[in-house]
Structures are given as C-alpha cells and as structure tokens.
C-alpha cells in the first residue's frame, strides 16, 4: 500500500519524482523519500510525514532516480523506516510484504550485515547487494527468487545507469516517453500525452535505461501490449472544490448514468448466457465494496429469487469455500488491486466458478484474471474514502439484477433504475441539511447507524465513512439487534442515525428509535416517509425521494456521505487523506 515512482531521462530526476509522489500520495503518506544518482553516487533524502516534507530534495542533481511514499506495515512511521532503503551501492523502493523477512535477515546478520530500519523491505537491498556481480538485472532476479510474499520493486545501483523493476502480486507500470522512461505504482503518477504505458505481470522484470526492455521470470526478453488510457482523466483536478471527496460526491449523478448496463446487448451476450444458468452467486469484496455487495444481495434475492452469499474476501480466501456448479462469483474492487479480493477471486476460479469483475480500473490485475469485466466507469477517485465508486458499483450490480431477472423469466427493472437516477439530484440537494447535524457529532463518544434490509447495508456504509474520515467510533447495526447487547452503550453522548426507506419494516425500525430515545440519545433520521420526520423522538431529518425499495441505498447513502464529510472538516481533518489509511489496499 505504498507509492513507487522511478525516472530515467534527460531532465533532472528529483522534481519528476516529487511530482509523481504527490499524485501517488493517496497510496500512503506516513513517510516519503527519493534516491537520485549523480556522478555515480547515490543521494538519498527521506522524511517522516507527507511528500511536501521532501520539497528541499528537488535541488538534488541527477538524471535517474526512484521515489516512494509509504503506508506503514512493518515498523512505525519514521525517517529511518522510510524508503528508499540503501545497502552499500544498492537503493530499493518496495510495495508489498516480505513474509520470510525474519529468516532472510538472520542469514544476512550471519554474514555480519547490520540493519538500519524495522522494515521488511530493507532486506531486499541486502539480498540484491549479495547477488550483485556487475549485472543488476540478474541480481534482482536472484534476490526475488528468495522472497516470499508480495512485491513491486524499483532498484538503483551506483554502477548502473538505469532502474530495474520487478513485480509479484503488487501493481507496477512502466512508461515510455520522448527521451525518458518511468516506473510507477499506477498510471496517475506518469500519465501524460505521448507516454506509452505497460503493466508488468507477476514474475516479470523491466530494465529501464534509455528505453525499456521487458523480461519474463527466466530473463527471456518479451513484448508487451501497451495500456490504453485517458491522460486527462488520469491527472485529477479538484475543479474548484476544497477537497477531492466533495468533488467526487458532486460527480455521482453523472457517474451513475455511465454505470447502468443492458446485459442483453450484443457486447454482453455471453455473460447473459451465464446468467441464465446461474444457480448461486457469491460476491467477494472488502470494505466499501463489501457493502455494495450487501446492497446487491438484497436486490438480487428480492427480484430474482437467486441465493446470494456476500463474503469478506480476506475470510473467503482461507475458508475453503463451497463453489457448486453454475456458481457466478462477482469480485468487487474499486482499484482492481485489492490483495485479498484478488486472492479470493483466484481461489474461486480454481474451484470452477465463472468470475465477473466489477472494478473502476480497466487495466487492473483483477481485470486480467476475470472471465468478464464489468467496469463502473466512475472516473478516477482520489479521496481515500469511496463515494462515487460505491454508488457506481451498486447501480451496476442493480443492472445485473435486472438482467438476471430477465434471464430467469422474471420482470426486469432497467426502467426503474434509470428513473432512480433522476432522483439523485433531489437527494443531493437535501443532503445539505446534514450540515446542521454536525455540532451534535463533534463531542460524541460513539455513533450508531440503524436500518433493516437494504437500509442496514446503507447504515454499514454510513458508519464506515464516519469512521474513516472523522475517527469517531461508530457501528452500523441491524435495527432489531440493538437490544441484544448494544443498547447498553447508548446514552446522551451517543448520536443515532436511523435509515428508513422500506414501508414494510418502517415501524419496526422506529421501535429501535423509541428505545434509543428513551436512553437519552439524539436521533437523526434519513427517510422517504415524511410522516416520520415530525416524530418527537427525531431531532432532525433528511427527506429523500421515494424509489423502488430494493434500490434505495443509491439515495440514502448520499446524506450519510455528506455527514461524514462535514463532520470531518469540523473536526479539523483532511477528508481526502485520513490517517492510517490508503486508497488501494495492495497488501494482505
């Protein structure tokens, strides 16, 4: 969960590296560093904190270098644990986790070598140095054969003009421009007009000098297909908004229009045939994507009567899951690089499942292993806390539910989904009312979100958003479960947010509202039923448009996202870059 950037060219490398790291800071911002070679000598600057702490390093001279922005796994955020790690004449930046770190370090210490950090990554520099005999590419290959775990590497050597890159289970791309070449964790760091970009696959290497050569695991030179990308889209701009998160929330109406699919059209004819035979669905995902799966489960089971199991990917991959014949597995990941989701998806495929990938990145690792790719078309999402990508995921999955219903001889619902999109703007306008709720959350000891059915899925996502960017302890609960233990935690310092959009269980959820009100909690309501807004138990409410109940999370989550955003700002946080978190979770 770190950002890597590398450069070889005619320009001074340091400013290029710093610019790339700024674009990758969403991947980690505990510490950062760069290494540049000038006159055969490594010059390294590392700092604790964000990339801005490195700006003094822009004066470093040299035309080749590597940079890194870190999200800590092994070792606390500190200057000594920051990358690049250097041993003798070798500098390394690493994204991933080395699982046999202890054994390798013991081997190095037995040779009399000492370590300067607490990281697992430093041992890679020691191994490459040990194997280096004048051929850096060969030394990196020998070192990586000793590594267990995941890695994306960019390596410098004082005796070599260029960079060697390697990849296993962690993303890495290489770019070729006019008289310059690049390496990065993703396209955003190197996207520019005229730069051709190529993705490394597991076990592959790249040699960056005046041009780029690609190699397989045996160092046999190979050819690669370049990735098609939109340079403007990969270079995000706040467009006048204070934060990327707010900009991305404003983009939701337009994004949703791009995420509605008709799976009966020719482009998806094969997938529609798979839906006809599907007898069971398993959705595997993590975090926000997991919540989109829960929303889909409610809609698919209600509309199609096909059983759906939603699995946390980190659990699925270790549970020896049961995958029966005609099981459709849907892997959901915004980045398409989520390590647990990738591992779970590969496991499902090995058991014979048909794998569909729902992702926002067309060139991701997940798309390369899927039988069918369902892109959300949300555009680049920079803020760590997912907003528009979540709404895009659920609308796409609702489209899938409509197609599945038709495939099973039931009534489709694309018309209702399209009509829903027209109501999003009204819901967005109502969201501004949550600004008035903010003072009640600033001194909260904890916050609870309540709902039933689809509203429960929305409550889980609302709770996660609040935790991510405000750092307030928060939980989402099925409303009926409140009295089975959790009610003991409710008092006057515990705001409760209730979501009610389903008529059949509205009064049942209101029973939970009565219970928390009786214990002194202030209740904040999100509903499409106006009559509940004036109840004495409700301190404040947001009235959203009514829609088909199965699809209500598209609307009900909007004020929940806005609440988290405004509380985050009021608490003095940067909602785009919450502490301890990274956008793309590429480690287990």
Query: Catalytic site residues?
Result: 2, 583
SS (H, E, C) 495-554: CEEEEECCHHHHHHHHHHHHHHHHCCCCEEEEECCHHHCCCCCEEEEEECCCCCHHHCHH
547: left (phi over 0), alpha (psi -120 to 50) or beta: beta
C-alpha distances (whole Å) from 179 to each of 12, 209, 307, 410 are 13, 10, 55, 58
The DSSP-derived string for 143-183 is: HHTT--B-EEEEEEETT-SSEEEEEESS--EEEE-SSEEEE
Q: How far apart are CA 141 and CA 145, in angstroms?
A: 6
Which residues are registered as beta bridge partners of 149?
Answer: 98
Q: How far apart are CA 84 and CA 61, in angstroms?
A: 17
Count of alpha carbons within 13 angstroms of residue 144, beta-carbon side = 29
The DSSP-derived string for 91-105 is: EEEEES-BTTHHHHH
Backbone angles phi, psi at 424, to 5 degrees: -65, -40
Among residues 115, 175, 168, 177, the alpha carbon closest in space to that of 146 is found at: 168
Q: Which helix (H) or strand (E) holds 87?
A: strand 85-87
Q: How far apart are CA 429 and CA 47, in angstroms?
A: 43
- Given a contact cutoff of 8 angstroms between Cβ atoms, the answer to whether 301 and 308 are in contact is yes
- Given a contact cutoff of 8 angstroms between Cβ atoms, the answer to whether 372 and 271 are in contact is yes
Which residues are registered as beta bridge partners of 6?
Answer: 66, 183
Among residues 98, 124, 140, the alpha carbon closest in space to that of 113 is found at: 124
H and E: helices and strands count for the chain: 17, 24
Q: How far apart are CA 551 and CA 555, in angstroms?
A: 8
Query: Which residues lie closer than 8 Å to 248 by C-beta, 6 or more apart?
Result: 381, 382, 383, 387, 388
Structure tokens given for 503: 């008529």
- Given a contact cutoff of 8 angstroms between Cβ atoms, the answer to whether 131 and 138 are in contact is yes
Burial class (CB in 10 A: 0-12, 13-18, 19+), 340: buried
Q: How far apart are CA 71 and CA 52, in angstroms?
A: 16
Q: At what angle do helices 122-131 and 101-110 cross, to 10 degrees?
A: 50
- Given a contact cutoff of 8 angstroms between Cβ atoms, the answer to whether 158 and 40 are in contact is yes
């Amino acid at each position: 969960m770190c950002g890597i950037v590398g450069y070889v060219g005619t320009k001074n490398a340091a400013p290029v590296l710093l610019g790339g790291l700024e674009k990758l800071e969403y991947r980690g911002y505990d510490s950062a560093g760069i290494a540049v070679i000038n006159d055969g000598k490594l010059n390294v600057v590392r700092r604790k904190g964000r990339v801005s702490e490195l700006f003094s390093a822009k004066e470093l001279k040299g035309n080749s270098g590597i940079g890194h922005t870190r999200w800590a796994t092994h070792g606390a955020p500190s200057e000594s644990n920051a990358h690049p790690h250097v041993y003798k004449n070798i500098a390394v930046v690493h994204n991933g986790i080395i699982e046999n770190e202890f054994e390798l370090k013991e081997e190095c210490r037995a040779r009399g070598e000492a370590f300067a950090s607490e990281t697992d990554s430093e041992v890679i520099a020691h191994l490459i140095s040990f194997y280096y005999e004048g051929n850096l590419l060969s030394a990196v290959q020998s070192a990586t054969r000793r590594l267990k775990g995941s890695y994306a590497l960019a390596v410098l050597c004082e005796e070599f003009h260029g960079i060697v890159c390697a990849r296993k289970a962690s993303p890495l791309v290489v770019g070729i421009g006019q008289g310059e070449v690049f390496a990065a964790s993703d396209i955003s760091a190197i996207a520019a007009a005229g730069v051709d970009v190529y993705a490394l696959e597991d076990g592959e290497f790249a040699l960056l000098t005046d041009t780029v050569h690609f190699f397989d695991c045996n160092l046999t030179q190979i050819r690669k297909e370049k990735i098609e990308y939109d340079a403007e889209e990969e270079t995000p701009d706040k467009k006048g908004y204070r934060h990327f998160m707010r900009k991305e929330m404003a983009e939701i109406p337009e994004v949703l229009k791009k995420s509605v699919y008709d799976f009966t059209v020719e482009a998806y004819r094969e997938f529609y045939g798979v839906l006809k035979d599907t007898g069971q669905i398993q959705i595997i995902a993590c975090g926000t994507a997991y919540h989109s799966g829960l929303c889909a489960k409610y809609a698919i089971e209600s509309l199609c009567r096909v059983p759906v199991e939603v699995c946390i990917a980190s659990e699925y991959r270790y549970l020896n899951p049961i995958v029966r014949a005609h099981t459709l597995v849907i892997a959901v990941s915004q980045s398409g690089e989520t390590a647990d989701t990738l591992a779970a998806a590969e496991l499902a495929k090995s058991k014979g499942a048909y794998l569909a990938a729902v992702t926002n990145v067309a060139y991701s690792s997940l798309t390369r292993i899927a039988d069918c790719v369902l892109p959300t078309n949300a555009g680049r999402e920079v803020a760590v806390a997912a907003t528009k990508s979540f709404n895009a995921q659920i609308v796409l999955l609702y489209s899938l539910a409509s197609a599945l219903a038709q495939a099973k001889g039931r009534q489709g619902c694309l018309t209702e989904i399209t009509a829903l999109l027209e109501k999003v703007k009204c819901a967005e306008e109502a969201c501004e009312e949550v600004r008035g709720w903010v003072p009640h959350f600033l001194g909260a000891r904890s916050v609870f979100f309540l709902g039933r059915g689809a509203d429960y899925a929305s409550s889980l996502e609302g709770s996660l958003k609040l935790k991510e960017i405000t750092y307030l302890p928060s939980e989402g609960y099925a409303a009926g479960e409140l009295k089975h233990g959790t009610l003991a935690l409710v008092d006057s310092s515990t705001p409760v947010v209730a979501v009610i959009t389903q008529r059949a269980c509205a009064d049942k959820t209101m029973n939970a509202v009565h219970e928390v009100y009786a214990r002194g909690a202030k209740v904040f309501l999100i509903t499409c039923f106006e009559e509940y807004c004036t109840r004495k138990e409700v301190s404040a409410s947001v009235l959203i448009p009514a829609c088909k109940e199965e699809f209500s999370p598209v609307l009900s989550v909007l004020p929940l996202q806005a609440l988290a955003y405004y509380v985050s700002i009021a608490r003095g946080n940067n909602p785009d870059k919450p502490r301890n978190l990274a956008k793309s979770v590429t480690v287990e």
